[in-house]
């Protein structure tokens, strides 16, 4: 049977060996715009992993278009680094391109040496809170010239193609959208005026690079911006781009300030494929679908069903660079799937850090964390089968150590199983399964129901031990916390307890918010039920929305701090807080619990005492380290390391990385 995912495709005259396209993602790995070892190592690994085509970037066309963490294409001095990157990708088996972009009003003056950002109109950015300089026509012409010069450098450096970014709220899409383009000259007004800048950039680049050099555009299928370009306008824009000389279109979604989630876990896999389909039906050039495509079967289905010609697999290749080769060779069960947490790949950018990965501790550290074999194999005991323990076992076994993983319970997974319990967070359950599969593939011996004690140490006497025994939920030190209707969030998330209609969640951190949403969705319509009722016209759209967002429980969250979800990643928090309002969860912030009684919880909020009725009280007040073994192991003289919550309560991201690092430090 022909596999649609691994059929060659031709873009202009360039043949790509398969339909897996790695789109440009800002890595923040360049050094003052220059390509260095870290970028070369990162993309070499993805090329070796079997991707058909890799686009790097975005790359700058001038110093107002990005920042020094971007790849530079605006000066000739950056060509040697670009050449090195193009060569590395080609020599490892993939086609390559560079995405060129101008950030427009999304750039920040603190990243440009205090220079004011530019835009079609002087409309403040909701991201930067700065008002851009409105471009004059000679300045527009100069920017078009800079796109051309950057494209020429990309071609000179040896890349197979060039891509122009015409979406996501950056400069070209700012011209296209009536929301940000209020000009009254030939670059504004009606649709024809607003698309002029983008088409002129494409025409000028096409003329400069020649008819046979592949030219791609990444554009929005929907901006998801109220008052912005319509989906129909964007489809027509795609037609005009094809007529102007574009060879392929990569369809993304939304602006950075859009209120529709785009890349996080709650976004269903492949949900935006309909946007690629809407454009594919109107053009004859290849169309690439993107966003939340992290599984080969989904990718095959999208291509076979005619939604697209290729799939953009981005963060899934950060999580597992060998995703394509595993799919091609029949080893799909071995893929480590991206969970779309955005903690390392997107949230790091807000911290001015290079991209890392929750699922893959090597991402961005391909050289320094390479899995070299040890000359002195040890018998290593890993204690604890959660994220940290599994990560440690996999890494230690990869180095050639003989590893035994001891888990006190009857299954592996630890707190990943809790993280995957709330609605829209199921990807974490898949990661638990993926890591368990990697433990199996590594040759690690797994012992479930294992009690590690002094006798165990004397009898087995391992050469080294990694303690990853995790954490335990904290009990609130207030009167009534021991009453029968007071339960832990962990028990709620695993359906180990039954909750009443009126539920009060104490603790508004990540676990508290997720538990509240888990409870608030009880009794709401499932996606399948919603589709059935909608298709058959059984209820009005407004009523269906209510039935999908109003459950059978009355949920309230109490938080001592002034805001909810402070320990969420930035990319996830805003969507979760929106969901709190959307699902009718009541909140009390800056509130302190005084007492829990049989039917009420007494709180102090803004100097006032208030009683809130509750049938069930859920504690989500944090985690404490559970490490009963460290003193015992230290006394035995066996070398050891501690990782995950056993070391210090933190995010699961930290546990995965700490487990990996612990295995390297110990031998």
CA-nearest of 178, 13, 186, 24 to 101 is 24
How far is the C-alpha of 572 from the C-alpha of 419, rounded, in Å?
13
Same topology for domains 21-285 and 379-473+624-666, yes or no? no
* DSSP single-letter state for residue 284: S
How far is the C-alpha of 521 from the C-alpha of 550, rounded, in Å?
7
Q: What is the CA 47 to chain-centroid distance, rounded? A: 20
End-to-end CA distance of the chain: 46
Query: At the topology level of CATH, where does 21-285 sit?
Result: TIM Barrel (3.20.20)
| Whole-prediction pTM | 0.94
How far is the C-alpha of 637 from the C-alpha of 410, rounded, in Å?
29
How many residues in total does the chain contain?
Answer: 667
CA-nearest of 481, 482, 559 to 515 is 559
Q: Please tell me the predicted confidence (pLDDT) of residue 611.
A: 94
- Phi, psi at residue 4, to the nearest 5°? -60, -25
Assigned superfamily of 486-621: FAD/NAD(P)-binding domain (3.50.50.60)
Integer CA distances (angstroms), 583 to 4, 493, 506, 619, in order:
40, 17, 18, 20
CA-nearest of 67, 79, 143 to 106 is 67
Residue 546's contacts (CB-CB under 8 Å, 6 or more residues apart) are: none
Rg value, the chain, Cα:
27
Q: 494-505 burial string, b = 16+ CB within 10 Å, else e?
A: eeeeebeebbbb
* CB burial of residue 134 (10 Å; 0-12, 13-18, 19+): middle
Q: Please tell me the predicted confidence (pLDDT) of residue 569.
A: 78
Q: Could you read off the pLDDT of 253-289 as tens digits, one per residue?
A: 999 988 898 888 889 999 999 999 999 999 999 999 9
Q: Please tell me the predicted confidence (pLDDT) of residue 361.
A: 95
Q: Domain ranges in the chain?
A: 21-285, 379-473+624-666, 486-621
Structure tokens at 84: 């090195």
Residue 119 pairs with which residues in a beta bridge?
134
Structure tokens at 339: 């969970």
Q: Please tell me the predicted confidence (pLDDT) of residue 352.
A: 85
Residues 422, 514 contacting (CB under 8 angstroms): yes
Structure tokens at 143: 């920017």
> Which strand (E) or helix (H) includes residue 301?
helix 296-304
Q: Please tell me the predicted confidence (pLDDT) of residue 109.
A: 86
Q: Could you read off the pLDDT of 288-331 as tens digits, one per residue?
A: 999 999 999 999 999 999 999 999 999 999 999 999 999 999 99
Residues 50, 313 contacting (CB under 8 angstroms): no
CA-nearest of 358, 261, 371 to 315 is 358
Residue 216 pairs with which residues in a beta bridge?
163, 248
Show the low-confidence residues of the chain (pLDDT under 50): none
Residue 20 pairs with which residues in a beta bridge?
311
User: Would you say domain 379-473+624-666 falls under CATH 3.90.45.10?
Assistant: no
């Amino acid at each position: 049977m022909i596999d649609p995912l691994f059929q060659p495709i031709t873009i202009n005259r360039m043949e790509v060996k398969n339909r897996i396209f790695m789109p440009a993602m800002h890595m923040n790995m360049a050094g003052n715009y220059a390509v260095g070892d870290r970028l070369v190592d990162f993309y070499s690994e993805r090329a070796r992993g079997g991707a058909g085509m890799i686009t790097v970037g975005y790359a700058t066309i001038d110093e107002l278009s990005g920042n020094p963490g971007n790849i530079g294409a605006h000066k000739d001095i950056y060509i040697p680094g670009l050449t090195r990157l193009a060569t590395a990708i080609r020599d490892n088996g993939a086609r390559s391109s560079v995405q060129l972009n101008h950030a427009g009003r999304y750039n920040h003056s603190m990243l440009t040496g205090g220079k004011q950002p530019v835009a079609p109109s002087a409309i403040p950015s909701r991201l930067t809170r700065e008002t851009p300089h409105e471009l004059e026509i000679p300045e527009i012409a100069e920017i078009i010239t800079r796109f051309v010069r950057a494209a020429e450098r990309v071609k000179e450096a040896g890349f197979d193609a060039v891509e122009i970014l015409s979406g996501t709220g950056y400069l070209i899409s700012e011209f296209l959208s009536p929301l940000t383009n209020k000009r009254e000259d030939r670059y504004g007004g009606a649709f024809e005026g607003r698309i002029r800048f983008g088409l002129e950039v494409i025409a000028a680049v096409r003329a400069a690079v020649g008819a046979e050099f592949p030219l791609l555009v990444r554009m929005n299928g929907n901006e998801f911006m109220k008052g912005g370009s319509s989906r129909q306008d964007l489809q027509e824009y795609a037609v005009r781009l094809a007529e102007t000389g574009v060879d392929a279109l990569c369809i993304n979604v939304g602006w950075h300030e859009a209120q529709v989630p785009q890349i996080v876990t709650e976004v269903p896999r492949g949900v935006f494929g309909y946007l690629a389909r809407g454009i594919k039906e109107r053009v004859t050039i290849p169309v690439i679908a993107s966003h939340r495509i992290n599984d080969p079967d989904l990718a095959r289905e999208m291509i076979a069903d005619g939604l697209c010609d290729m799939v953009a697999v981005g963060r899934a290749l950060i999580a597992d660079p060998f995703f394509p080769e595993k799919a091609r060779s029949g080893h799909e069960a071995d893929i480590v799937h991206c969970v779309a947490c955005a903690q390392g790949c997107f949230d790091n950018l807000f911290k001015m850090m290079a991209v890392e990965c929750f699922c893959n501790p090597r991402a961005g550290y391909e050289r320094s964390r390479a899995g070299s074999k040890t000359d002195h194999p040890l018998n290593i005991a890993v204690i604890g089968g959660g994220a940290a323990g599994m990560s440690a076992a996999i890494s230690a076994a990869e180095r050639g150590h003989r590893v035994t993983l001891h888990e006190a319970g009857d299954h592996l997974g630890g707190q990943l199983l809790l993280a995957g319990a709330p609605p829209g967070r199921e990807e974490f359950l898949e990661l638990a399964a993926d890591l368990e599969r990697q433990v199996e593939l590594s040759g690690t011996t797994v012992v479930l129901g294992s009690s590690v004690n002094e006798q165990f140490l004397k009898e087995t006497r391992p050469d080294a031990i990694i303690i990853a025994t995790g954490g335990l939920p904290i009990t609130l030190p207030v009167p009534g916390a021991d009453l029968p209707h007071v339960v832990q969030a962990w028990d709620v998330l695993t359906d180990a307890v039954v909750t009443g209609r009126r539920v009060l969640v104490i603790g508004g951190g990540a676990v508290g918010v997720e538990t509240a949403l888990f409870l608030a969705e009880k009794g709401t319509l499932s996606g399948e039920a919603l589709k059935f009722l909608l298709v058959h016209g059984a209820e009005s759209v407004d009523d269906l929305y209510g039935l999908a967002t109003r459950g059978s429980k009355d949920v309230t969250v109490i938080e001592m701090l002034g805001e909810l979800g402070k320990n969420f990643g930035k990319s996830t928090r805003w969507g979760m807080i929106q969901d709190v309002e959307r699902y009718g969860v009541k909140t009390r912030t800056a509130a302190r619990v005084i007492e829990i009684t049989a039917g009420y919880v007494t709180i102090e909020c803004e100097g006032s005492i208030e009683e809130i009725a509750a049938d069930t009280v859920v504690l989500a007040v944090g985690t404490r380290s559970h490490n009963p073994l460290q003193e015992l192991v230290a006394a035995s003289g066996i070398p050891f390391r501690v990782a995950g919550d056993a070391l210090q309560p933190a995010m699961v991201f930290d546990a995965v990385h700490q487990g990996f690092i612990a295995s390297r430090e110990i031998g």
